[in-house]
Amino acid sequence: MARYYAGQDGSVELGGQPVAKVAQWSLTATTDALEVTTLSERARTFTAGVRGATGALTVLYYQDAPVKLLNQLNQDTDADAGIGATARLKLKFDTKFFEFDAVLTSAELSCVVGEVMRVNVNFTMSGDFIKENQAVTY
Amino acid sequence: MTAVNFPALVPTGRSYTPGVFPEQQFQSQNGSVIRVRYGNQRYSSSLSLTFANITDASAASILENYVAVMGDDKYVVFTDSNVAAGVSTVLVPWIQETNSLLRWKYASPPSVESIKPELSTVTCEFIGELEGA
């Protein structure tokens, strides 16, 4: 029987350290479409351009988190010195994962009545997926 | 002058102007104009071509064509399967300048912009010159 994956299989590592209390992660891989339509053609044609990826994490905010994402984003004095501005990000589900270097581009902290405080973090991949460690066929 | 064929590439952008006639214009103080016409052949037509996202090999073929034409007393010839592709037959003689005495020369060196590895965008400017008489 086919194995399906669910949210309980997911996890995230940043700079080799697990990011605890992750509620959601998403990844969007993109490729530019470069137009090569010539003047003799009546339909647009394209060729593949540069690859890239962006994504987002939603992390529940709590005291003593192993990776302080807000500090990491600001690269302030409380940021983990071992995790640079461009950090290795690993989005996992079960034994499979996407691994790449990423820049944390934004973090939004929200505090809402009746909800657990959470941080929405956006990131942009720097470079390509690290294929030698890739366990995902995509 | 001998002809050199332009590479078999169809442009992604093309702009043409038919040039002007040799004349001197005199305008009097009341605004009236007198034109002294020195010839009945237009000159300095222009053709601007863009080849977007072509292979580096194709870009190199344009550069080689530039050297072949401008490095000697030669001119460029376009065909309706490359530069004049996609225009109606009534317009082809204008793009090719076969309806005039004009000959296409490079007005400036081609510009090569690198887009991604092995892909470039090349822009070329041509000027139609009257063959020396």
B77-100 pLDDT tens trace = 998 889 999 899 999 999 999 999
Place of tokens 């351009």: A49
H or E element, residue A69: helix A69-74
Which range, A64-68, A103-107, B109-113, has the best average confidence (pLDDT)?
Answer: B109-113
**Position B30 in a domain:** no
User: For position A135, what pLDDT does the model report?
Assistant: 57
The number of CA neighbours under 13 Å toward the Cβ of A130 is 13
**What distances in angstroms separate CA A38 from CA A54, A57, A124, one per listed residue?**
32, 42, 33
User: For position A19, what pLDDT does the model report?
Assistant: 83
pLDDT at A65 over 80: no
pLDDT at B133 over 60: no
**Position B121 in a domain:** yes
Which of B128, B133, B126 has the alpha carbon at shortest distance from B39? B133
Q: Which residues of B touch A34 (CB under 8 A)?
A: 52-53, 115-116, 119
User: For position A21, what pLDDT does the model report?
Assistant: 86
d(CA A32, CA A48): 6
Q: What is the CA radius of gyration of chain B?
A: 17
pTM over 0.90: no
Residue A132 is classified by DSSP as G
Contact status of A39 with chain B (Cβ, < 8 Å): yes
Alpha-carbon gap: A43 to the closest alpha carbon of chain B (Å): 12
**Position B118 in a domain:** yes
H or E element, residue A61: none
Question: Quick one: residue B49, left, alpha or beta (phi over 0 = left, psi -120 to 50 = alpha)?
Answer: beta
**Position B108 in a domain:** yes
Alpha-carbon gap: B53 to the closest alpha carbon of chain A (Å): 6
pLDDT band for position B65 (cuts 50, 70, 90): very high
**Position B39 in a domain:** no
d(CA B129, CA B20): 11
Test B11 with A50 for CB contact under 8 angstroms: no
Which of A137, A128, A112 has the alpha carbon at shortest distance from A51? A128
Which range, A99-108, A129-138, B60-69, has the best average confidence (pLDDT)?
Answer: B60-69
Once rounded to an integer, what is the mean pLDDT over residues B63-89? 92
Once rounded to an integer, what is the mean pLDDT over residues A18-35? 91
Give me the domain span that covers residue B66. 2-15+44-130
Once rounded to an integer, what is the mean pLDDT over residues A23-39? 94
Q: Which residues of A touch B10 (CB under 8 A)?
A: 38-40
Domains of chain A, start order: 7-133 (2.30.110)
CA angle A27, A112, A65 (to 5 degrees): 60
Q: What is the 3-state secondary structure (H, E, C) of A3-50?
A: CCCCHHHEEEEECCEEECCEEEEEEEEEEEEEECCCCCCCCCCEEEEE
Alpha-carbon gap: B100 to the closest alpha carbon of chain A (Å): 24
pLDDT: is A69 or A35 the higher one?
A35
Place of tokens 């505090």: A111
Average pLDDT, chain B: 94
pLDDT band for position B121 (cuts 50, 70, 90): very high
Q: What does the pLDDT look like over B3-30, one tens digit per residue? A: 999 999 999 999 999 999 999 999 999 9
How many other CB atoms are found less than 10 A from the CB of residue A125? 22
**In terms of CA atoms, which chain A residue is nearest residue B82?**
A40
**ipTM over 0.95 threshold:** no
Percentage of chain B lying above the pLDDT 70 cut: 98
Q: Give B8's contacts (C-beta < 8 A, 6+ positions apart).
A: B81, B82
The number of CA neighbours under 13 Å toward the Cβ of B71 is 7
How many other CB atoms are found less than 10 A from the CB of residue B119? 21
Q: Give A58's contacts (C-beta < 8 A, 6+ positions apart).
A: A22, A23, A24, A25, A118, A119, A120, A121
* Lookup: tokens for B25: 């214009």
Q: Which residues of A touch B11 (CB under 8 A)?
A: 38-39
pLDDT at B126 over 90: yes
Q: Looking at chain A from residue 41 to 100, which residues have their Cβ under 8 Å from any Cβ of chain B?
A: 41, 47, 49-50
If one counts the domains in chain B, the total is 1
Test A40 with B86 for CB contact under 8 angstroms: yes
Q: Which residues of A touch B119 (CB under 8 A)?
A: 34, 47, 49
**Position B87 in a domain:** yes
**Position B23 in a domain:** no
Task: Indicate the residue of A36, A39, A40 with minimum beta-carbon distance to B53.
Answer: A36
User: For position A114, what pLDDT does the model report?
Assistant: 92
User: For position A15, what pLDDT does the model report?
Assistant: 83
**In terms of CA atoms, which chain B residue is nearest residue A40?**
B86
